[in-house]
């Protein structure tokens, strides 16, 4: 689920070859060339807000300004870094690419991409996140192949699944810390969750919570000594560039809304396998919620792909099917006829024989 984006990305996002070896990135780039046999150059754009494609191919997550990778079929890749020459040294630990230079403007990127390449041999990835002026300055009419790259990105490799499992471990620690501190105050619960995630190696953590019994969610923006019960929370944790997310409802006593939501979630998971239509899963959840009402947060998004982005496109809209090799966040949110609210969720990896539950809060 997309959340409020922080002003400045913080946390460790260094490239760890033991977790994501260079051979993994080489394999991804080779697959890109195989999908586009006529292409010899690829321009890959990423910003602090939109960088999943850039991170997939380079491991780099831009923190302050945009960055652009220039991939060549017959040469070494280059990374152009926003923020001036000082950013070159800061970016070295973040990527496996060795050729790092300052990013000046779109014209410089365009010239570098066209050098020794025909106009019809250049492809662009991530142009939807580009500033219009930057795109125009490159002076190219190259096709954007972001959608095709996302098709490739949906099938998670062994290393990607390991990274997501690492994020799930940090998520488990954060959720447990929120649960432990829930009786103190909202502030104590949120800060405990963030601290636990950071101690577990998270490079980013985002928490939403509810002060009205789960009816609405809000970000943490000010200190409050208020204690609420039940406490509905959403926690998203990123580690090794990959996300894990989870909804959990904390209460001192048995909560009928949570019990019902968890029961529906278990039924939905039992019906999920490769090839399952997403609208079928949504219909199953909606039918099980009746006579209650779907929660507004999850009414139109009961499941989505998750990995390098909290909501990886293409989104799981009506007509789509769950794919083997992909990782999904499955969510059940409801409002009971008694006016109680609850949102619960699970992270699953779908495969040909069914799925593995990567995370779920009981």
Q: What is the pLDDT of residues 13-71, one digit of tens each?
A: 899 999 999 999 999 999 999 999 999 999 999 998 899 999 999 999 998 889 999 99
Distance CA 160, CA 169 (A): 14
User: Is the fold of 22-153 the same as that of 158-360?
Assistant: no
Distance CA 226, CA 20 (A): 42
Distance CA 341, CA 359 (A): 22
Give the global pTM.
0.93
Is the distance from CB of 116 to CB of 37 less than 8 angstroms? no
Distance CA 277, CA 298 (A): 17
Whether pLDDT at 77 is above 60: yes
pLDDT of residue 268: 96
Distance CA 292, CA 279 (A): 19
**Rama region for 49: left / alpha / beta (φ>0; ψ in -120 to 50; rest):** alpha
CATH number, domain 158-360, options 3.90.230.10, 1.20.1600.10, 2.170.190.11, 3.30.590.10: 3.90.230.10
DSSP character at residue 170: H
For 239-275, what is each residue's pLDDT tens digit? 999 999 999 999 999 999 999 999 999 999 999 999 9
Mean confidence (pLDDT) of the chain: 91
Whether pLDDT at 280 is above 70: yes
Question: How far out from the chain centre does Cα 219 lie?
Answer: 18
What Cα–Cα distance (Å) separates residue 325 from each residue in 54, 123, 307, 330, 349?
21, 26, 12, 15, 7
pLDDT of residue 317: 65
Domain boundaries, the chain: 22-153, 158-360
CATH number, domain 22-153, options 3.40.350.10, 3.90.1150.110, 3.30.420.10, 3.30.450.20: 3.40.350.10
For 134-186, what is each residue's pLDDT tens digit? 777 777 788 999 999 999 999 999 999 999 999 999 999 999 999 999 999 99
Whether pLDDT at 6 is above 80: no
More confident of the two residues 221 and 259:
259
DSSP character at residue 318: T
Written as one string, the DSSP assignment of 3-71 is -PPPSS--S-----TTTS-HHHHHHHHHHHHHHSTT--EEEEEE-SSS-HHHHHHH----SSS-EEEEE
| pLDDT level of residue 192 (50, 70, 90 thresholds) | very high
| pLDDT level of residue 119 (50, 70, 90 thresholds) | confident
């Amino acid at each position: 689920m997309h959340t409020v984006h922080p002003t400045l990305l913080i946390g460790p996002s260094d490239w760890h070859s033991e977790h994501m070896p260079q051979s993994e990135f080489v394999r991804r780039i080779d697959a890109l060339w195989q999908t586009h046999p006529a292409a010899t150059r690829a321009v890959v754009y990423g910003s602090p807000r939109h960088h999943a494609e850039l991170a997939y191919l380079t491991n780099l997550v831009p923190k302050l300004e945009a960055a652009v990778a220039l991939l060549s079929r017959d040469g070494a890749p280059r990374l152009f870094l926003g923020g001036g020459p000082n950013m070159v040294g800061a970016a070295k630990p973040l990527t496996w690419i060795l050729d790092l230079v300052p990013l000046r403007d779109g014209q410089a990127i365009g010239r570098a991409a066209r050098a020794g390449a025909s106009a019809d041999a250049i492809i662009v990835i991530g142009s939807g996140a580009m500033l219009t002026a930057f795109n125009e300055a490159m002076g190219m009419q190259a096709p954007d192949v972001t959608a095709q790259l996302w098709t490739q990105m949906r099938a998670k490799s062994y290393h990607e699944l390991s990274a997501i499992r690492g994020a799930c471990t940090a998520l488990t620690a954060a959720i447990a810390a929120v649960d432990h501190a829930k009786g103190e105050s909202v502030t104590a619960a949120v800060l405990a969750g963030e601290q636990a995630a950071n101690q577990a190696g998270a490079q980013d953590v985002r928490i939403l919570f509810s002060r009205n019994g789960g009816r609405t969610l809000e970000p943490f923006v000010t200190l409050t000594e208020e204690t609420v019960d039940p406490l509905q929370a959403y926690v998203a944790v990123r580690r090794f560039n990959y996300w894990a997310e989870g909804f959990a409802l904390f209460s001192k006593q048995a909560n009928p809304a949570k019990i019902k939501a968890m029961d529906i979630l278990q039924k939905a998971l039992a019906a999920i396998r490769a090839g399952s239509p997403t609208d079928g899963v949504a219909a199953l959840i909606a039918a099980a919620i009746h006579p209650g009402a779907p929660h507004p947060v999850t009414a139109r998004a009961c499941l989505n792909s998750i990995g390098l982005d909290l909501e990886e496109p293409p989104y799981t809209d009506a007509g789509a099917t769950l794919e083997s090799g992909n990782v999904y966040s499955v969510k059940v949110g409801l409002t009971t006829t008694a006016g109680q609210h609850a949102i619960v969720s699970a992270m699953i990896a779908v495969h040909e024989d069914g799925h593995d539950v990567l995370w779920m809060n009981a």
